[in-house]
Structure 1
Amino acid sequence: MHTPVTVIGAGLGGLTLARVLHLHGIPVTVHEAESCPSARAQGGLLDIHHYNGQLALKAADVMDDFHDIVIEGRQALRLVERDGTLVHESADDGTGGRPEVQRGELRQILLDSLPDDTVRWGHKVSGTRTLGEGRHEVTFADGGSVVTSLLVGADGAWSRVRPLLSAAIPAYVGHSVVETYLFNADTRHPATAKAVGGGMMIAPSPGQEIVAHREKADTLHAYVGLSESQDWFAAIDFGAAPAATARIARQFAGWAPELTALITDSDTAPVLRPLFALPTEHRWDRVPGVTLVGDAAHLAAPNGEGANLAMLDGAELAKALAAHPDDVEAALAEHEQAMFARGTGADTFEGGEVHGIDSENNTAQAMLKMFTGLGQGPDLSPAARPQAASTPLGSA
């Protein structure tokens, strides 16, 4: 089968690309390894930024639907020290530029905006190869294949399309997060619910942190971060939930109980998320007929920008293709030049350093000082927060 534009990956970046192409009348097919839209959980809250993610959603003409899923009040922020001391609190007054939505609901909006046959589910890529003259073949685990004159890898960190362009492999950044959930927290865990507040709570400490979001209703979704080696985590049996939870909790001995309850009282088994990144200056030479968007191109450990950049990559690529209908290579060159600059501009997280704060000084006071521009004012409203600090670990 031959298709004009083939996208690998039905995440936010690939679906935004497909939607904007559809609006411009450009045929596109998206191949996704998952068997159906509900095959797995889609993650927690995303803050969608006015300077990138929202621009992409405007290009996709889904802003009305986006506004319908915004969870009011979730841009509130609390900074606390490990002993529970409140260092700063800011309310969500509705003027912030980074409204919060559930990732799964946003993905569904994009899926619903496409013709039913756009996404081909259960198509796990087993290989890709260049055929010459800008054409590529993609083979799937079920034995099928497609040949395409334009291949776009929107397939994330471990992209099967990336090797056509680059030999780069994501590297572990020296830090991992463990996800937990507390349900009905206001009733069952009132002290922890109060500590988290109405939006996001950040409790940083050298080499570790606890970040929590209040999702819909009174569900608390926590990201417990540790600067440990992969071997250290490999020694923990995450299949034995109580023992794994206890092992992680021991690393937070001495922390306030209302904070450690986000570990010890989890209503779900802890899920390990090792953090990987591509080189900050990841580039490739132009290869006819193929390109990348999102994490496939510029994977960084969570810094609040990943999903937003992926969507903007997809929207901008689609617009470039629409602007150069007779010169695909000009469109791809334009897209990559702009995308490389965007990827470089996003702050990174490596070796236990959070948003430009070195690991040894990673405290709520240090984060407050960074947020306020080294003491140049107390404004920590959502609109005033630095770009890279808009959402910490686990929320990109």
Structure 2
Amino acid sequence: MSTPTPTPDPTATAPRIAVIGAGPGGLTCARVLQRHGIPVTVYDREAGREARDQGGTLDLHADNGQVALKAAGLLDAFLAKARPEGQEMRTYEAGSGALTGRHVPEPDEMFKPEIDRGVLRDLLLDSLAPGTVRWGHALAAVEGPAEGPRTLRFADGTTAVADLVIGADGAWSKVRRALSGALPAYSGVTFLEAWFDDVDNRHPELAALVGQGGAHAADGERAMFAQRNGGDHIRVYLIRRVPADWLAARGLTTADTEAIRALLLEEYADWGPALRRVLTDNDGPYVDRPIHALPVPHTWTTQPTATLLGDAAHLMAPLGVGVNLAMLDAADLALALATAPTPAEAVTAYESTMRPRSEEIAAQLHGAATGLLGAGEGLDAHIPQN
């Protein structure tokens, strides 16, 4: 009697794929890989999924972010949670505070509905196999030869080995250092973020000013972008052309709320009273967000064992494309890994698509952060996230 031949385990010789960063891009990549039966591990520096506030609201576009969600099998789930009413946009004249423009979405308009970043992240996390994300793993360096395997060295002294490292670790990517010496440069523009909670009850004037979507005003030197989030929250971004160290130069930190508020009231002295109210009524401290961008074009020599997606590859001005491109990158890379004969061929195919796309958009947006300061500009602006 012959012994049955054991069925081979297709994952036994599968390449060890490590995604660095559990943001929308990294999680989308992991989800699409798992849908195609490809094992993957995601490493993230945060202690857990509830470690910090995930930031504001995002608009996912039908021609990129939603394409990625379809590849992930999550488009219907996203549409069920999204806020199409968040596509409403208003423009105000800074001096008078008068409404000068308004876009109200059609009932069936779904080109770029809004979703809170935390809600999107939970949707992606819940779609992954248990244990996919290894929390508390802050990457310190990628070591080893370009031919592989690569050693991931974490800040706590632990290590892991990977045959392919995918850098989805944002603006200050540690994976990027294994591929490129490029560093983000300060754009000259800073966003100062203010939060408002329970707005319909506690801040009804601001709620009425912003409506269900966003509101923008600018005078050429400074601007304001206010955006309704889910859960009856509004975030306001005060957009100013200042040195990156403007707070420290004045002897301040973000904990000095009253001193910052007094400074802002002086800078925005010529603005209408309704708009200036956002400078005085915010709940809690401000958040300082200097805007950086990578050089255009940002290129590197393709390596078979490491690649980048999203802000790690093409950090740009915050004009509504960042998360959408990151998720499209992620889906394209995962699908290439699912279809190419080897990971090296997949990386080559992916980068040959990602680079021209991102370079074209980055060239269009190069220096565009200052455009947010112009009156009537920036209605499509959305805010960079950590």
Larger radius of gyration: 2
Q: Which moved more, 1:122-131 or 1:110-119?
A: 122-131
**CA offset at residue 300 of structure 1?**
1.0
* Equivalent in the alignment of 2:162: 148
Residue of 59, 62, 65 corresponding to 2:71: 59
Contact 1:223 1:394 in 2 (8 A): no
- Alpha-carbon distance in structure 2 between the residues aligned to 1:392 and 1:120: 29
**Helix, strand or coil for the counterpart of 2:143?**
strand
User: Does residue 219 of the first structure (1) align with residue 233 of the second (2)?
Assistant: yes
* Equivalent in the alignment of 2:224: 210
* Equivalent in the alignment of 2:348: 333
* Equivalent in the alignment of 2:332: 316
Give CA deviations for 1:227-263 in whole Å, capped at 9, x if unaligned.
1111323223211221122223321111112112222
**CA offset at residue 312 of structure 1?**
0.6
**CA offset at residue 130 of structure 1?**
2.3
User: Does residue 191 of the first structure (1) align with residue 218 of the second (2)?
Assistant: no
- Alpha-carbon distance in structure 2 between the residues aligned to 1:4 and 1:207: 50
Contact 1:174 1:351 in 2 (8 A): no
* Equivalent in the alignment of 2:179: 165
User: Does residue 353 of the first structure (1) align with residue 373 of the second (2)?
Assistant: no
User: Does residue 38 of the first structure (1) align with residue 50 of the second (2)?
Assistant: yes
Residue of 275, 283, 307 corresponding to 2:291: 275
Contact 1:175 1:350 in 2 (8 A): no
Contact 1:20 1:319 in 2 (8 A): yes
Residue of 121, 125, 148 corresponding to 2:135: 121
* Equivalent in the alignment of 1:385: none
Check 1:161–1:352 CA distance in 2 against 1; reply closer, same or farther (3 A cut).
closer
User: Does residue 307 of the first structure (1) align with residue 297 of the second (2)?
Assistant: no
**CA offset at residue 349 of structure 1?**
5.6
Contact 2:217 2:223 in 1 (8 A): yes
Check 1:352–1:28 CA distance in 2 against 1; reply closer, same or farther (3 A cut).
closer
TM-score, normalised to structure 1's length? Answer: 0.88
Contact 2:19 2:41 in 1 (8 A): yes
Contact 1:82 1:205 in 2 (8 A): yes
* Equivalent in the alignment of 2:357: 342
Check 1:106–1:392 CA distance in 2 against 1; reply closer, same or farther (3 A cut).
closer
Check 1:92–1:257 CA distance in 2 against 1; reply closer, same or farther (3 A cut).
same
Structure 1 stretches of 5 or more lacking a match?
368-387
Structure 2 stretches of 5 or more lacking a match?
1-13
Residue of 238, 245, 268 corresponding to 1:252: 268
- Matched to 2:259, the amino acid is A
- Alpha-carbon distance in structure 1 between the residues aligned to 2:195 and 2:305: 43
**CA offset at residue 184 of structure 1?**
2.9
User: Does residue 391 of the first structure (1) align with residue 381 of the second (2)?
Assistant: yes
**Helix, strand or coil for the counterpart of 1:230?**
coil
**Helix, strand or coil for the counterpart of 1:311?**
helix
* Equivalent in the alignment of 1:110: 124
RMSD over aligned CA atoms reads 1.9
Give CA deviations for 1:314-349 in whole Å, capped at 9, x if unaligned.
11000011110x222221111112111221232426
Contact 1:303 1:391 in 2 (8 A): yes
- Matched to 2:274, the amino acid is E
Contact 1:249 1:263 in 2 (8 A): yes
Give CA deviations for 1:165-209 in whole Å, capped at 9, x if unaligned.
100001100001011112233333333222212211011221311
Contact 1:175 1:351 in 2 (8 A): no
- Alpha-carbon distance in structure 2 between the residues aligned to 1:130 and 1:103: 34
- For residues 361-376 of structure 1, the aligned pairs below 5 Å read 362-364=374-376, 367=377
- For residues 17-32 of structure 1, the aligned pairs below 5 Å read 17-32=29-44
**Helix, strand or coil for the counterpart of 1:353?**
helix
- Alpha-carbon distance in structure 2 between the residues aligned to 1:180 and 1:196: 14
User: Does residue 229 of the first structure (1) align with residue 243 of the second (2)?
Assistant: yes
TM-score, normalised to structure 2's length? Answer: 0.90
- Alpha-carbon distance in structure 2 between the residues aligned to 1:33 and 1:58: 28
Corresponding residue pairs, total: 367
- Alpha-carbon distance in structure 2 between the residues aligned to 1:279 and 1:256: 38
- Matched to 1:34, the amino acid is E
- Alpha-carbon distance in structure 2 between the residues aligned to 1:395 and 1:152: 19
Check 1:394–1:259 CA distance in 2 against 1; reply closer, same or farther (3 A cut).
farther
- For residues 68-147 of structure 1, the aligned pairs below 5 Å read 68-83=80-95, 84-94=97-107, 95-147=109-161
- Alpha-carbon distance in structure 2 between the residues aligned to 1:245 and 1:39: 28
* Equivalent in the alignment of 1:7: 19
- Alpha-carbon distance in structure 2 between the residues aligned to 1:130 and 1:246: 52
Check 1:158–1:185 CA distance in 2 against 1; reply closer, same or farther (3 A cut).
same
Contact 1:4 1:150 in 2 (8 A): yes
Q: Percent identity?
A: 40
**Helix, strand or coil for the counterpart of 2:47?**
coil
Contact 1:177 1:224 in 2 (8 A): yes
* Equivalent in the alignment of 2:10: none
**CA offset at residue 38 of structure 1?**
0.7
Contact 2:84 2:110 in 1 (8 A): no
Contact 2:32 2:72 in 1 (8 A): yes
- Alpha-carbon distance in structure 1 between the residues aligned to 2:317 and 2:285: 23
Give CA deviations for 1:8-40 in whole Å, capped at 9, x if unaligned.
111100000000000011110000000000101
**CA offset at residue 390 of structure 1?**
3.0
**Helix, strand or coil for the counterpart of 2:119?**
helix
**Helix, strand or coil for the counterpart of 2:85?**
coil
